[in-house]
Structure 1
C-alpha cells in the first residue's frame, strides 16, 4: 500500500488535537450518530454475492428509518435494465476481474465495490457492481452535483434552527449565523454536515424538491440503480445506489471545479454564530476549523480526495480517487465494515491492485453522460496543488462511525495527558515545600 506521511505536521496536529480536547472534553459530542457498529471480535468474512441477493433492492433494513410517513407507501423497486449499464460483464454479481488478473488483496470487507478510470471511463475491476445498496453520506456527491451549478457561491444565507437541528452528523451551523454558499459546500463535502445539506436543500425548494432534482440527474447520467430519499444520505424509503452508480456520479461531480477543489482541501475555517437571544446564559459561538473527513487524502500517495458515509442500515460507504503514473482511478465501497481494515485502507488496497494491472485492462465502461453509448473521456476538473493544511477531520464527526471511535480515543488520550501534567505539577510543588 502506498502510504505517505507528513512529519512536519506532527506539532501542528498535536496542538489541534489538544485544542479540540479542551473544547470537547466537557461538552456533548455534536452531530455523532447514536448507533455504533458492532465491536465483536468475530472474524469477518467478505459477503458472498454470487447469487445476486441485492439485484433488485438493498438488504432489509435493521431499524425503522425506511418506514414511510403516515398516509404514504414505500416506492416500488427500481426497474432492472434489460442490458447491464456499462457492458455485459458488469451484469455479474460476484467478483469481476479482467483476464489474467491476479488474486485480490485480502481484507476487503465491502459487500460491493468498483474501481474505474476517471478519464477513460473504463471499469477496471468490480464486485457486485449493479447490486443495490444504501449510499449514506456518499449521496452528498449527487447533492453537490445538483446544487453547485444552481447556487450563487458568494451569496450569504442565515442559518436557521431547522438547520441546526438536522439529524445525524452536523458541522455546527447555528441559528443566526451567516454563511456563504461556498462555506456551506465546504461543510457538506469536507465534514459531511447534514445541517449544511439542509441549508442547501432549502435554497433548492426544500427536501422533496431537492430529492426530485437529484433523482432526475441520476437518471440523466444513467445511474439507474440510484434513488435518493433524503438530500443528506440519511436512510429513507426507497433509498438505493450501486457501486457502479457511485463511481459514475463521482465522475460527473469531478467535472465541477469546486467539487474537485473541496474533496482535496484538508482544512478551512468555518464561521461561528451569535448567542441565542432567548437564552440569557448563552454566549456568542466563535468560529472553528473544519477538516476533511477522508483519511485516504492524508495517507495515500497520489490521493485526490473523496467522500465517506455511514448509517446503521448502509454500514460503511466510501468513494475516493487517486492518481498514479498519469492514470486517475476512482474506487467505491458499499456495505463495508471497519474490519479487518478501515474503509480507506480497503480502498487503498484496491487502488494498489488496480494500478498494478496492465494498462487498458477492463471489464466494462461507464456511459457517456449525453448518450447511451460507452464513453471514452469527459472533461474532469483537477484539484488544486496539495497544501500543508493541518488534517483533523475526526474532530467534528463523520457518519462513518469508525471516526466516532477515533474522537473518543482522542478525548481519552487528552484526559490522560491532563492527569499526567497535573501529577507532575503537584510533584514539583511538593519538592518546593
Structure 2
C-alpha cells in the first residue's frame, strides 16, 4: 500500500551544498550547576536532578559541559526564555553543526524516540511488501500501559502496515512483531546497540526496542539527533515520519448479512503534534517528522526536523519540567524559530559526527589538523556513504569528500506532510 504524498510549496525545496566545518572556536558558555553521574534514569521525584559535571565529548569538548552552550555573533537573537527541558540541542541537519545545546550528552530515559534507532536498524532489512501472520508469542513481553496501534494475533499484516503503526501511533505491538520478524527481541536489542555504536551514539544503551522504561535504558539529546539524521537519509523512513494519517488493517469478522468473513480497517493519526496540531497548538510550518515519546521516567521527549528557506534544522528536546504534554512541542517550536533566525549569526559549539568517525568523534570541536581530526578523516573515507556525516537524502553519485573532516552533498530532499 503506497503512501500518497501531497506536496505543498512550503515543504518543497532543494538544499544547497553544505560543508561541515572542521574548526570550532572557543565559545561563550552559560553553565548549570554540576552534579554526580546520571547514567540511570532520573525519576523526577523530590529535588530536580542535575546533569553530571562532565559528560561525553563526542562532537566536541564544549558539548560535554553542563548547562547551555551557545556562541553568538553580533546581531544574534537571544535564546528563548523559560525553557524547562532537562536537555536539548539545535543542529543543522545537513552540515551537522550544533548551533546551541543544553546538557546535550546527559543520559536520560528516551521513551519512544528510541524507535528512531529501531527503525534505523530494522527498516532496511525487511521488504515492506512482505506479509506476516502474527503469533500470540509475538505480542508477549510488552510493558504495562504500552502505546498500541491495535495489532491482533492470528491476523496478517504487511511490513508497511507495521511501520505505519510504529511511526504514527508509536505502537509497541508493531515494534514487537517487527522484532519477531527480525529474529526476536534479544537479537534486535543487540543489533540496535551495535547500530548506536556505529553512529557514535555512545550515550545510548538499549534494553527494549520500543523505548519502554527499563532500568539502565538511556540515550541523550545528542544521540537522538544522530538517530534522526541517519534515518532521514532513508526515503521510506522520511515518508513514514512525515505521514499525518493513514488506514490500518482491522480484525477479520463475519458479515452478519452475507455470512462471509471480511476484514475492515480504521484510521490512525500521527501522535507528533507539530505535524498534526492539537488544541492550542498549530502544526509547525515546514515540519517533516520525526518522533515523539512519553513515559513515566522520560517525561515527554521529541526530535523534530523542519525546513525553511532551504535550510533544514534538527531539534531534540528531553523532559520539560513544566507545562502539560504539549510543552515538549512548544519548546521545540521555540528552538526551531530561534535556529532559523540565528542562521549565520552564531558559531557552532560542536557537531553531529559521522558514523565510523572513531577517535575523531571525541575531538569534534578541535581543529581538523590534529591527529584526532586526521583519524576522523581517514575513517570517513572508509565509509563515505554511511551514517550521520552525510547530508540527508543523498542523491546517487553526488557525494563529495572535502578537506579534513567535511562532507558536502548536493541533493533533493522533499520535506512533506504526507497523508495516506
TM-score, L = length of structure 2? 0.70
Distance 1:157 1:134, change over 3 A: same
- Structure 1 residue 136 corresponds to structure 2 residue 148: no
CA distance in 2, matches of 1:387, 1:90: 32
Distance 1:385 1:139, change over 3 A: closer
- Structure 1 residue 362 corresponds to structure 2 residue 348: yes
Deviations 1:304-353 (A, max 9, x none): 11111011011111111001121111110112246176211110000101
CA distance in 1, matches of 2:322, 2:252: 38
Alignment of 1:226-237 (within 5 A): 226-237=204-215
Distance 1:338 1:223, change over 3 A: same
Moved more, 216-225 or 107-116: 107-116
1:273, CA displacement in angstroms? 2.1
1:138 and 1:309 in contact (8 A); partners too = yes
Structure 1 gap ranges (5+):
1-47, 64-79, 277-282, 391-433
1:367, CA displacement in angstroms? 1.1
Q: Which one of 385, 388, 392 corresponds to residue 380 of structure 1?
A: 392
Match of 2:302 in 1: 318
- Structure 1 residue 192 corresponds to structure 2 residue 170: yes
Deviations 1:61-89 (A, max 9, x none): 479xxxxxxxxxxxxxxxx88x6001111
CA distance in 2, matches of 1:363, 1:387: 31
2:31 and 2:65 in contact (8 A); partners too = no
Match of 2:93 in 1: 118
1:90 and 1:130 in contact (8 A); partners too = yes
1:383, CA displacement in angstroms? 6.2
CA distance in 1, matches of 2:220, 2:250: 37
Alignment of 1:210-225 (within 5 A): 210-225=188-203
* Structure with the larger RCO, 1 or 2 (CA within 8 Å, 6+ apart): 2
Distance 1:169 1:388, change over 3 A: closer
Moved more, 340-349 or 109-118: 340-349
- Structure 1 residue 245 corresponds to structure 2 residue 220: no
Which has the larger helix fraction? 1
- Structure 1 residue 349 corresponds to structure 2 residue 334: yes
1:304 and 1:383 in contact (8 A); partners too = no
Alignment of 1:136-215 (within 5 A): 136-163=111-138, 166-167=142-143, 168-215=146-193
Q: Which one of 80, 92, 108 corresponds to residue 65 of structure 2?
A: 92
Moved more, 162-171 or 316-325: 162-171
Deviations 1:26-58 (A, max 9, x none): xxxxxxxxxxxxxxxxxxxxxx98234474414
CA distance in 2, matches of 1:189, 1:147: 13
TM-score, L = length of structure 1? 0.68
CA distance in 1, matches of 2:295, 2:36: 18
Match of 1:263 in 2: 241
Distance 1:54 1:228, change over 3 A: farther
1:209, CA displacement in angstroms? 1.1
1:104, CA displacement in angstroms? 2.1
